[in-house]
Amino acid sequence: MPTIDVTLPDGSLRALERGATPADLAALIGPRLAKDAVAARVDGRLVDLRAPLEAPCRVELLTFKDPDAVGILRHSAAHLLAAAVRELYPGAKITIGPAIENGFYYDFDLPRPVTEEDLPAIEERMRLLAARRDAFTRAELPKEEALARFEAQGEGYKAEIIRGLEGPTVSCYTVGGFEDLCRGPHLPDSGRVGAFKLLSVAGAYWRGDERNKMLTRIYGTAFPTQAELEAHLKQVEEAKRRDHRRLGRELDLFSFQEEAGPGLVYWHPKGAMVRKLIEDFWREEHVKAGYGFVVSPHIGRAHLWETSGHLENYRESMYSPMDIDGQDYYLKPMNCPFHILMYRDRPRSYRDLPLRMAELGTVYRYERSGTLHGLMRVRGFTQDDSHIFVSEELLAEEIARVVKFIRHMLTSFGFTEFEVFVSTRPKEGIGEARWWERATDALKGALEAAQWPYGIDEGGGAFYGPKIDFRIKDSIGRTWQCSTLQVDPNLPERFRLEYTARDGTRRRPVMLHRALLGSLERFFGILIEHYAGAFPVWLAPEQVRVLSITDDAGAAAEAVLARLRAAGLRAEADLSPEKIGAKVRLAALEKVPYVLALGRKEAESGQVAVRKRGTNEVETQSVEAFLARIQGEVAAKS
**Contact predicate 432/398, CB 8 Å:** no
| Catalytic annotation present for 383 | yes
Taking the C-alpha atoms of residue 27 and residue 42, their distance in angstroms, rounded to an integer, is: 17
Per the annotation, the verdict on 467 as an active-site residue is yes
Respond yes or no: is residue 93 known to be catalytic: no
Question: Taking Cα atoms as reference points, which of 428, 429, 427, 424 lies closest to residue 443?
Answer: 424
434: CB partners within 8 A, 6+ apart: none
For residue 154, the surrounding DSSP H or E stretch is none
- Preceding amide of 2 cis, omega within 30: no
Euclidean distance between CA atoms 305 and 302, whole angstroms: 5
Nearest 5°: the CA angle 414, 419, 423 is 135
In Å, how far from its chain's centre is CA 186? 26
Residue of 197, 467, 530, 545 with catalytic role: 467
CA atoms within 13 A on the CB side of 532: 14
Quote the CA–CA distance of 555 and 424 in Å, as a whole number: 65
Residue of 180, 385, 474, 488 with catalytic role: 385
Q: What is the DSSP string of 443-456?
A: HHHHHHHTT---EE
Give yes or no: 513 in active site. Answer: yes
Do 294 and 358 meet the contact criterion of CB atoms below 8 Å apart? Answer: yes
Q: Which helix (H) or strand (E) holds 176?
A: none
Catalytic hit among 86, 365, 407, 530: 365
DSSP class per residue in 268-282: -HHHHHHHHHHHHHH
Q: How far is CA 123 from its chain centroid?
A: 29
Q: Integer distance in angstroms from the first to the last C-alpha of the chain?
A: 70
Burial 590-602 (b: 16+ CB within 10 A, else e): bbbbbbbbbbeeb
Give the Cα separation of 330 and 299 in Å (integer): 5
Nearest CA among 479, 472, 469 for reference residue 513? 469
Q: Which of 180, 383, 474, 583 is catalytic?
A: 383
Active-site residue, from 232, 242, 356, 387: 387
Quickly count: other Cβ atoms within 10 Å of residue 232's Cβ: 18
- Which of the following is catalytic: 24, 336, 407, 607? 336
| Catalytic status, residue 373 | no
Q: Are the beta carbons of 487 and 510 closer than 8 angstroms?
A: yes
User: Given CA atoms 14, 20, 26, 27 in this order, what sign does their dihedral have?
Assistant: negative
Other beta carbons less than 10 A from residue 606's beta carbon: 13
Residues 6+ apart with CB under 8 A from 415: 472, 473, 474, 530
Per-position DSSP letters for 476-545, written without gaps between them: TS-EEEEEEEEEESHHHHHTT--EE-TTS-EEPPEEEEEEEEEEHHHHHHHHHHHHTT---TTT-SS-EE
Q: What is the DSSP string of 541-595?
A: SS-EEEEESSGGGHHHHHHHHHHHHHTT--EEEE-SSS-HHHHHHHHHHTT-SEE
Backbone φ, ψ for residue 362 (5° rounding): -85, 130
Q: Is 589 exposed, middle or buried (0-12, 13-18, 19+ CB in 10 A)?
A: exposed
Instruction: List beta partners, residue 621.
Output: 608
Instruction: Give me the active site residues, please.
Output: 336, 365, 383, 385, 387, 467, 513
